[in-house]
Amino acid sequence: MKIKIFPRLEKGDLIGVAAPCAGFDPSRLNQGIASLKQLGFAVRIPEQIYEKKRYLAGEDLCRAEVINQLAADPDVKGIICARGGFGAMRMLAHLDWDLIKTHPKLFVGFSDATALLTSVMQQAGLGVVHGPNLVSLAVPDAPTLDAFFAAVTGTLTGVTADDGICLKPGQAKGVLAGGNLATLVHLLGTRFAPDFSGTVLFLEDVGEPAYKIDRMLSQMKMAGLFTQVSGVVTGEFCQCDQKEYLPEIFEDIFAEYNIPVLMGLASGHGRTNLSLAMGWQVLLDADAGFVQWLKQK
Protein backbone atom coordinates (compact mmCIF):
# COMPACT_ATOMS: atom_id res chain seq x y z
CA MET A 1 0.00 0.00 0.00
CA LYS A 2 1.58 3.26 -1.16
CA ILE A 3 0.60 6.40 0.73
CA LYS A 4 1.74 9.71 -0.77
CA ILE A 5 0.32 12.21 1.73
CA PHE A 6 -0.65 12.15 5.39
CA PRO A 7 -2.77 15.27 5.94
CA ARG A 8 -2.44 16.86 9.38
CA LEU A 9 -4.61 19.28 11.29
CA GLU A 10 -3.71 22.34 13.34
CA LYS A 11 -5.70 24.18 15.97
CA GLY A 12 -8.16 26.49 14.26
CA ASP A 13 -8.61 24.21 11.24
CA LEU A 14 -12.11 23.55 9.95
CA ILE A 15 -13.37 19.96 10.20
CA GLY A 16 -16.39 18.93 8.15
CA VAL A 17 -18.86 16.35 9.41
CA ALA A 18 -19.98 13.57 7.07
CA ALA A 19 -22.48 10.77 7.72
CA PRO A 20 -21.47 7.93 5.37
CA CYS A 21 -22.98 5.20 7.55
CA ALA A 22 -26.01 4.93 9.83
CA GLY A 23 -28.24 7.58 11.33
CA PHE A 24 -27.17 9.09 14.63
CA ASP A 25 -28.41 10.67 17.84
CA PRO A 26 -28.31 14.47 17.27
CA SER A 27 -27.70 15.16 20.96
CA ARG A 28 -24.62 12.95 21.02
CA LEU A 29 -23.46 14.56 17.79
CA ASN A 30 -23.71 17.97 19.41
CA GLN A 31 -21.69 16.73 22.38
CA GLY A 32 -19.03 15.45 19.97
CA ILE A 33 -18.97 18.81 18.20
CA ALA A 34 -18.38 20.47 21.57
CA SER A 35 -15.40 18.15 22.17
CA LEU A 36 -13.87 19.13 18.81
CA LYS A 37 -14.31 22.80 19.62
CA GLN A 38 -12.71 22.33 23.04
CA LEU A 39 -9.68 20.89 21.24
CA GLY A 40 -9.46 24.11 19.22
CA PHE A 41 -11.06 23.07 15.93
CA ALA A 42 -13.85 24.74 13.98
CA VAL A 43 -16.67 22.49 12.79
CA ARG A 44 -18.95 22.54 9.73
CA ILE A 45 -22.18 20.52 9.84
CA PRO A 46 -23.87 20.08 6.44
CA GLU A 47 -27.67 19.99 6.69
CA GLN A 48 -27.86 16.83 4.54
CA ILE A 49 -26.32 14.64 7.26
CA TYR A 50 -29.62 14.73 9.18
CA GLU A 51 -31.52 12.95 6.40
CA LYS A 52 -32.70 9.39 6.95
CA LYS A 53 -33.42 6.30 4.90
CA ARG A 54 -34.22 3.20 6.93
CA TYR A 55 -31.21 2.82 9.25
CA LEU A 56 -28.99 4.93 6.96
CA ALA A 57 -28.21 8.65 7.21
CA GLY A 58 -29.97 9.34 3.91
CA GLU A 59 -29.71 8.07 0.34
CA ASP A 60 -26.37 6.64 -0.81
CA LEU A 61 -25.82 9.44 -3.33
CA CYS A 62 -26.64 12.10 -0.75
CA ARG A 63 -24.20 10.68 1.79
CA ALA A 64 -21.49 10.55 -0.87
CA GLU A 65 -22.21 14.06 -2.12
CA VAL A 66 -21.62 15.47 1.35
CA ILE A 67 -18.13 13.99 1.26
CA ASN A 68 -17.52 15.21 -2.29
CA GLN A 69 -18.60 18.73 -1.33
CA LEU A 70 -16.44 18.78 1.79
CA ALA A 71 -13.48 17.44 -0.21
CA ALA A 72 -13.90 20.23 -2.77
CA ASP A 73 -14.07 22.99 -0.15
CA PRO A 74 -10.61 24.57 0.31
CA ASP A 75 -11.55 25.79 3.79
CA VAL A 76 -12.17 22.26 5.07
CA LYS A 77 -9.01 20.53 6.26
CA GLY A 78 -10.48 17.35 7.71
CA ILE A 79 -13.58 15.16 7.48
CA ILE A 80 -14.88 13.21 10.48
CA CYS A 81 -17.61 10.56 10.30
CA ALA A 82 -20.70 11.10 12.44
CA ARG A 83 -20.98 7.44 13.48
CA GLY A 84 -20.54 3.86 12.26
CA GLY A 85 -23.27 1.25 12.06
CA PHE A 86 -23.63 0.31 8.39
CA GLY A 87 -23.68 2.07 5.05
CA ALA A 88 -20.24 3.33 4.08
CA MET A 89 -19.58 0.62 1.50
CA ARG A 90 -22.88 1.42 -0.26
CA MET A 91 -21.73 4.91 -1.26
CA LEU A 92 -18.10 4.25 -2.23
CA ALA A 93 -18.89 4.10 -5.95
CA HIS A 94 -20.48 7.57 -5.77
CA LEU A 95 -17.37 9.27 -4.41
CA ASP A 96 -15.25 11.45 -6.70
CA TRP A 97 -11.91 9.76 -6.15
CA ASP A 98 -9.97 12.12 -8.43
CA LEU A 99 -11.32 15.03 -6.40
CA ILE A 100 -10.41 13.39 -3.09
CA LYS A 101 -6.92 12.61 -4.36
CA THR A 102 -6.23 16.12 -5.63
CA HIS A 103 -7.80 17.90 -2.63
CA PRO A 104 -6.31 15.93 0.27
CA LYS A 105 -8.17 16.07 3.59
CA LEU A 106 -7.67 14.08 6.77
CA PHE A 107 -10.44 11.48 7.09
CA VAL A 108 -11.27 10.27 10.61
CA GLY A 109 -13.53 7.46 11.80
CA PHE A 110 -13.78 3.78 12.72
CA SER A 111 -16.11 0.78 12.77
CA ASP A 112 -18.18 0.73 9.54
CA ALA A 113 -16.26 3.84 8.42
CA THR A 114 -13.36 1.41 7.86
CA ALA A 115 -14.78 0.93 4.34
CA LEU A 116 -14.32 4.63 3.66
CA LEU A 117 -10.90 4.92 5.36
CA THR A 118 -9.41 1.91 3.59
CA SER A 119 -10.70 3.15 0.24
CA VAL A 120 -9.30 6.64 0.82
CA MET A 121 -5.91 5.05 1.48
CA GLN A 122 -6.01 2.82 -1.60
CA GLN A 123 -7.90 4.96 -4.10
CA ALA A 124 -6.42 8.34 -3.18
CA GLY A 125 -3.10 7.43 -1.53
CA LEU A 126 -3.94 9.44 1.59
CA GLY A 127 -3.21 8.62 5.20
CA VAL A 128 -6.18 8.54 7.57
CA VAL A 129 -6.90 8.34 11.29
CA HIS A 130 -8.65 5.29 12.69
CA GLY A 131 -10.24 6.99 15.67
CA PRO A 132 -13.51 7.99 17.29
CA ASN A 133 -16.47 8.95 15.17
CA LEU A 134 -18.09 12.20 16.25
CA VAL A 135 -20.75 10.58 18.47
CA SER A 136 -17.94 8.64 20.19
CA LEU A 137 -16.42 11.97 21.19
CA ALA A 138 -19.58 12.87 23.10
CA VAL A 139 -18.13 11.70 26.43
CA PRO A 140 -14.55 10.58 25.72
CA ASP A 141 -12.15 9.58 28.47
CA ALA A 142 -8.83 11.44 28.72
CA PRO A 143 -6.67 8.80 26.92
CA THR A 144 -9.12 8.76 23.99
CA LEU A 145 -9.14 12.53 23.65
CA ASP A 146 -5.36 12.87 24.03
CA ALA A 147 -4.64 10.20 21.41
CA PHE A 148 -7.21 11.72 19.05
CA PHE A 149 -5.54 15.13 19.16
CA ALA A 150 -2.06 13.62 18.75
CA ALA A 151 -3.14 11.48 15.78
CA VAL A 152 -4.95 14.19 13.83
CA THR A 153 -2.12 16.70 14.36
CA GLY A 154 0.54 14.19 13.32
CA THR A 155 2.28 14.20 16.70
CA LEU A 156 1.41 10.65 17.77
CA THR A 157 4.59 8.81 18.75
CA GLY A 158 3.36 5.47 19.99
CA VAL A 159 0.76 3.39 21.82
CA THR A 160 1.25 0.53 24.24
CA ALA A 161 -0.94 -2.51 24.82
CA ASP A 162 -0.85 -2.40 28.61
CA ASP A 163 -2.75 -5.67 28.94
CA GLY A 164 -1.63 -7.06 25.59
CA ILE A 165 -0.76 -10.61 24.66
CA CYS A 166 2.26 -11.41 22.49
CA LEU A 167 1.11 -14.34 20.36
CA LYS A 168 4.15 -14.38 18.07
CA PRO A 169 7.31 -12.51 19.10
CA GLY A 170 9.38 -10.19 16.97
CA GLN A 171 9.46 -6.77 15.37
CA ALA A 172 8.09 -5.57 12.06
CA LYS A 173 7.94 -2.34 10.09
CA GLY A 174 5.26 -1.35 7.63
CA VAL A 175 2.45 1.04 6.83
CA LEU A 176 -0.28 0.70 9.45
CA ALA A 177 -3.59 -0.29 7.83
CA GLY A 178 -6.81 -2.13 8.61
CA GLY A 179 -9.73 -1.51 10.93
CA ASN A 180 -13.00 -3.28 11.55
CA LEU A 181 -12.69 -6.97 10.66
CA ALA A 182 -16.27 -7.57 9.47
CA THR A 183 -16.23 -4.46 7.27
CA LEU A 184 -12.94 -5.45 5.64
CA VAL A 185 -14.23 -8.95 4.91
CA HIS A 186 -17.33 -7.54 3.20
CA LEU A 187 -15.11 -5.61 0.78
CA LEU A 188 -13.53 -8.80 -0.56
CA GLY A 189 -14.45 -9.48 -4.18
CA THR A 190 -15.27 -5.82 -4.88
CA ARG A 191 -13.27 -3.12 -6.65
CA PHE A 192 -12.55 -1.73 -3.18
CA ALA A 193 -11.08 -4.96 -1.81
CA PRO A 194 -8.19 -4.21 0.55
CA ASP A 195 -4.55 -4.86 -0.32
CA PHE A 196 -2.41 -5.22 2.78
CA SER A 197 0.94 -5.92 1.12
CA GLY A 198 3.78 -4.62 3.28
CA THR A 199 1.50 -3.42 6.05
CA VAL A 200 1.26 -3.84 9.77
CA LEU A 201 -2.35 -4.99 9.88
CA PHE A 202 -4.70 -3.76 12.60
CA LEU A 203 -7.99 -5.56 13.31
CA GLU A 204 -10.84 -5.01 15.79
CA ASP A 205 -14.55 -5.83 16.07
CA VAL A 206 -17.63 -5.77 18.25
CA GLY A 207 -20.52 -8.14 18.90
CA GLU A 208 -19.07 -11.05 16.91
CA PRO A 209 -18.83 -14.51 18.53
CA ALA A 210 -15.51 -16.32 18.34
CA TYR A 211 -16.59 -18.67 15.56
CA LYS A 212 -17.54 -15.76 13.30
CA ILE A 213 -14.20 -14.07 13.91
CA ASP A 214 -12.54 -17.39 13.05
CA ARG A 215 -14.62 -17.61 9.87
CA MET A 216 -13.81 -14.06 8.78
CA LEU A 217 -10.09 -14.49 9.40
CA SER A 218 -10.16 -17.81 7.53
CA GLN A 219 -11.82 -16.16 4.55
CA MET A 220 -9.23 -13.38 4.48
CA LYS A 221 -6.47 -15.97 4.71
CA MET A 222 -7.93 -18.06 1.89
CA ALA A 223 -8.20 -14.88 -0.21
CA GLY A 224 -4.45 -14.35 0.22
CA LEU A 225 -4.68 -11.12 2.20
CA PHE A 226 -2.11 -12.19 4.79
CA THR A 227 0.68 -13.49 2.53
CA GLN A 228 2.58 -10.19 2.40
CA VAL A 229 1.60 -8.68 5.75
CA SER A 230 4.59 -7.61 7.86
CA GLY A 231 2.90 -7.94 11.24
CA VAL A 232 -0.47 -8.02 13.00
CA VAL A 233 -1.78 -6.03 15.94
CA THR A 234 -5.33 -6.17 17.23
CA GLY A 235 -7.50 -3.79 19.11
CA GLU A 236 -10.39 -4.87 21.27
CA PHE A 237 -13.03 -7.46 20.47
CA CYS A 238 -15.89 -6.14 22.56
CA GLN A 239 -19.09 -7.99 23.45
CA CYS A 240 -17.79 -11.12 21.74
CA ASP A 241 -19.05 -14.51 22.93
CA GLN A 242 -16.33 -17.04 23.83
CA LYS A 243 -13.74 -14.27 23.77
CA GLU A 244 -11.32 -16.57 25.57
CA TYR A 245 -10.87 -18.51 22.31
CA LEU A 246 -9.57 -15.52 20.35
CA PRO A 247 -5.84 -15.82 21.18
CA GLU A 248 -5.89 -19.45 20.07
CA ILE A 249 -7.80 -18.56 16.89
CA PHE A 250 -5.27 -15.87 15.97
CA GLU A 251 -2.41 -18.25 16.70
CA ASP A 252 -3.96 -20.84 14.36
CA ILE A 253 -4.60 -18.38 11.55
CA PHE A 254 -1.13 -16.81 11.57
CA ALA A 255 0.90 -19.91 12.55
CA GLU A 256 2.37 -20.36 9.06
CA TYR A 257 3.53 -16.76 8.69
CA ASN A 258 6.86 -15.60 10.07
CA ILE A 259 5.50 -12.35 11.46
CA PRO A 260 4.92 -10.87 14.93
CA VAL A 261 1.37 -10.87 16.29
CA LEU A 262 0.24 -8.71 19.22
CA MET A 263 -3.25 -8.62 20.69
CA GLY A 264 -4.81 -6.04 22.95
CA LEU A 265 -4.45 -2.37 21.99
CA ALA A 266 -7.15 -0.26 23.65
CA SER A 267 -8.49 0.74 20.26
CA GLY A 268 -11.89 0.01 18.78
CA HIS A 269 -15.29 -0.24 20.45
CA GLY A 270 -14.18 -0.15 24.09
CA ARG A 271 -14.47 2.69 26.58
CA THR A 272 -11.01 3.86 25.57
CA ASN A 273 -10.52 4.15 21.81
CA LEU A 274 -6.94 5.15 21.06
CA SER A 275 -6.61 6.81 17.66
CA LEU A 276 -4.18 5.26 15.18
CA ALA A 277 -2.54 7.18 12.33
CA MET A 278 -2.90 4.84 9.32
CA GLY A 279 -0.87 5.14 6.16
CA TRP A 280 2.12 6.02 8.34
CA GLN A 281 5.19 3.79 8.77
CA VAL A 282 5.23 2.12 12.17
CA LEU A 283 7.38 -0.28 14.15
CA LEU A 284 5.47 -3.09 15.81
CA ASP A 285 7.29 -4.68 18.74
CA ALA A 286 5.18 -7.64 19.84
CA ASP A 287 7.52 -8.59 22.68
CA ALA A 288 7.42 -5.13 24.27
CA GLY A 289 3.75 -4.69 23.38
CA PHE A 290 3.86 -1.38 21.56
CA VAL A 291 3.43 0.33 18.20
CA GLN A 292 5.77 3.22 17.42
CA TRP A 293 5.20 5.74 14.63
CA LEU A 294 8.43 6.31 12.70
CA LYS A 295 9.68 9.69 11.57
CA GLN A 296 8.50 10.41 8.07
CA LYS A 297 11.03 11.33 5.40
Over the range 109-134, which residues count as b (16 or more CB within 10 Å of their CB) and which as e? bbbbbbbbbbbbbbbbbbbbbbbbbb
**Distance between CA atoms of residues 130 and 215, nearest Å:** 24
From 35, 111, 119, 136, active-site residue:
111
Of 109, 159, 188, nearest to 266 by C-alpha is: 159
Sorted by sequence, the CB contacts under 8 Å of residue 74 that are 6+ apart come out as 103
Is residue 94 flagged as an active site residue? no
* b/e per residue 228-263 (b: at least 16 CB within 10 A): ebbbbbbbbbeebeeeebbeebbeebbeebebbbbb
Q: Which of 34, 4, 277, 52 shows the shortest CA–CA distance to 134?
A: 34
> Which of 119, 136, 186, 204 does the annotation list as catalytic?
204
Residue 205 buriedness (CB in 10 A; 0-12 / 13-18 / 19+)? buried
Residue 31: count other Cβ atoms within 10 Å of its Cβ. 16
| Annotation says 47 is catalytic | no
Q: Is 204 noted as a catalytic residue in this protein?
A: yes
Catalytic residue list: 111, 204, 269
